Structure 1
Amino acid sequence: MPEKKLRVELLTMTPDALELTYAAFRQCYHAGFVADMWPRLLNGDIEKEKQAEFVSKVLESGHDSPIEHVSFTFAVEGISRACSHQIVRHRIASYSQQSQRYVAENDMDFIIPPAIRRIPEARERFEKFMEEVGSAYRDLREILVAAGRESKANEDARFVLPQAAETKIVITMNCRSLMHFFNLRCCQRAQWEVRAMAHLMLEKCKESFPAIFRHGGARCEQLGYCPEADRFACGRYPTLKELTGQK
């Protein structure tokens, strides 16, 4: 049962993402039909730099619904079941997660929280428990198979598996959902594991679609202040209360 490391890969994104976003934004302010403009966009008659500048300026105004037309699909491994439960709370998205019903966990990989990893006695106890869980899972699975539950052994034995169990997941989100995801999960208040994953996703989004995702990240980076209550602020940015001198 080895410890698993985080890995995030961008599988695909909507083709012609900049052109599509530009066309969607333009349709909101253009008297004509953007389908007539579309061939010119694909042919490069309107420079990509001008398209990106237009998209970025409109986005800064707070008008962001047209970016929903573009989506990104990621493959993620090396996260815990605890982390995946946080991810799937973002509802405007699609998920395909590795099933513990159909995939046997005889050699379960796991995730160790950094705070536990840093303390030798905590890590020793954690890893010992992972071994105990793995042994219990294998024993239960063998007992169930012997009792005639072979096709259902995985789904019954998995009840002893911990939240630390490693999982793999495919995630698809549109750009607007991703921006919201990054607002929340790149924040210092986010749990360490989902925050690390969000930052890796954001890096790939910035590389692939900078016109949109140069604005991405924790909410405070866009606002210039921390929108959290004083007791939750990490100190990276002043709170709105501090900024305005409110008491």
Structure 2
Amino acid sequence: MPERSLRVQLVRHTDNPQELVALGARLCYAGGTLDSLVEKISGQDQQAFVQKVMGMGHDSVLEHASFTFLVEGVSRVLLAQLTRHRIASFSVQSQRYVSYQSGFGYIVPPAIRALGEDAVREYNDQMAQMQQWYEGWQQKLGNAGEKSNEDARFVLPGACETRVLFTMNARELRHFFALRMCNRAQWEIRAMAQQMFEKVYPVAPALFADAGPGCISGPCPEGGRSCGKLPQVRAERQAFLAAHQAND
């Protein structure tokens, strides 16, 4: 029963997402032929135009661009949070059709790991105990494949690893980042959101340069529950942007 680590892949995205968003925005305000519109979009400074449109609050055009992620090494605890974001499409590894007789992967929370080797050993032993319970119920239920899996899985922990393929449009991604990159978000989904952001920013910098917790570009929306780290959050974002600009 191996421990698992988070891994995020951006497996697909809309071709030229910034150009498509710019085209949608220009179409709303321009006359002329479609051919001339496409030509104008191709020749203009898309990044500046897209940022101007977003600054006006014309966010619906962001929905034309989509991004698909493949994520592994995440827990069922994270999955419950992720699927609350309903403007998205999800495909999740089934605990009914996938058997864990050879052992399930699981996530070790950093706070438990920080307690030291004895704590991690105790946690690992508990995971092993749950594996035995799972196998025991499979036996009692007749080892009937998915028919026994569907009930034996009830003893599996929230720490159990899962794999998810999901797609979000750019507007929903910005909303997701605003909630899940905040320091008040749960640690696991915050780490995933950070990796997602690092994957999409190079693809469409105009769409995501100011994406993230609300304090990136304004006051902290958490009020009295603020983490108090606004200067640090902004400094880290500026360092990230500077590093990417230096590599361009």
User: Normalised by the shorter chain, which TM-score bucket?
Assistant: 0.7 to 0.9
Residue 228 in structure 1 maps to residue 225 in structure 2: no
* Contact 1:94 1:172 (C-alpha < 8 Å) held by counterparts: yes
Q: Aligned runs of 1:28-177 on 2, under 5 Å?
A: 28-34=28-34, 36-38=36-38, 40=39, 44=42, 46-47=43-44, 50-106=45-101, 107-120=103-116, 121-145=118-142, 149-177=144-172
Residue 16 in structure 1 maps to residue 16 in structure 2: yes
So what's the TM-score if we normalise by structure 1? 0.88
DSSP 3-state at the match of 1:170: strand
Which amino acid is the alignment partner of residue 8 of structure 1? V
Which amino acid is the alignment partner of residue 10 of structure 2? L
* Cα deviations by residue, 1:120-155 (Å, 9 ceiling, x for unpaired): 333222111100001111121123225xx4440111
Moved more, 75-84 or 122-131: 122-131
C-alpha distance in 2 between matches for 1:167 and 1:58: 38
C-alpha distance in 2 between matches for 1:219 and 1:237: 10
* Cα deviations by residue, 1:29-65 (Å, 9 ceiling, x for unpaired): 2133545422x268x4x14xx0111001221232211
Q: For residue 234 of structure 2, what is the aligned residue in structure 1?
A: none
Moved more, 162-171 or 62-71: 62-71
DSSP 3-state at the match of 1:207: coil
Q: Give the count of matched residue pairs.
A: 229
Q: For residue 7 of structure 1, what is the aligned residue in structure 2?
A: 7
* Contact 1:2 1:109 (C-alpha < 8 Å) held by counterparts: yes
So what's the TM-score if we normalise by structure 2? 0.87
User: Percent of pairs identical after alignment?
Assistant: 46
* Contact 1:68 1:174 (C-alpha < 8 Å) held by counterparts: yes
- Computed over aligned residues only, the root mean square deviation of the Cα atoms, in angstroms, reads 1.6
